[in-house]
Amino acid sequence: MIFDSVTRRISGLWSARKGSLAVEFALSVPIFLLALGGAADYGWLLLAEFKARQVAATMADLTGRSDVLTTAEATDILRTSYAVGSPLRMETDGRVIVTHVRTTTADGSFNDWRVGLGGGDPNSLPSRVGELGDEADLGSIVLPPGENMVVAEVVLHFRPLIGLAIREERDIYATSYSRPRFGIVALDDD
């Protein structure tokens, strides 16, 4: 008799519908929040990569529009990266380096001058193009004699927005190349 009573109650649990919506909701909400947080993290990463490329392209283009730049004008151009890189914090998490690469003879190209913003002295900022005055490392790009190029590099320190899907911080690197409109861009030290 006691056994029949317990069996009836247990079998009655399977057919009971009271509270099933609350249980389903409680089981599905964490999965939904995880998917939402993951989408936010990956969206933030894609935005950061896009903004880094956009800042690099803008810096190379703006620098290549003059034939002579003062250091103050070059710094003002680099400060526009704050607006171009928004909503990311380029002023605290970013570094912009613009290098003018020149070729004078068939000996190859060299890094003529460099300006930078974020992270100290622009001439001491690490650049993948090479050291100032040394031969430029342009990868597969070969400049013929007499040609010049503006190379903009952007390093953006990425921090995940929520940290559910992407947990680690990383540096995003972007490079853009631009041909100066007037040939050589000279840097005039005020």
Tens of pLDDT, residues 135-185: 888 888 888 888 889 999 999 999 998 888 888 999 999 999 998 888 778
102 contact partners, CB below 8 Å, separation of at least 6: 109, 110, 112, 148, 184
pLDDT given for residue 56 in this prediction: 95
110: left (phi over 0), alpha (psi -120 to 50) or beta: beta
pLDDT given for residue 126 in this prediction: 78
Diameter of the chain by CA atoms? 105
Q: What is the pLDDT of residues 5-58, one digit of tens each?
A: 766 666 665 665 677 777 888 888 889 888 898 899 999 999 999 999 999 999
Place of tokens 């990383």: 170
97 contact partners, CB below 8 Å, separation of at least 6: 114, 115, 116, 122, 125, 127, 129, 152, 153, 154
pLDDT given for residue 116 in this prediction: 87
Tell me the mean pLDDT in the region 74-94. Answer: 90
Q: Is the pLDDT of residue 121 over 60?
A: no
pLDDT given for residue 96 in this prediction: 93
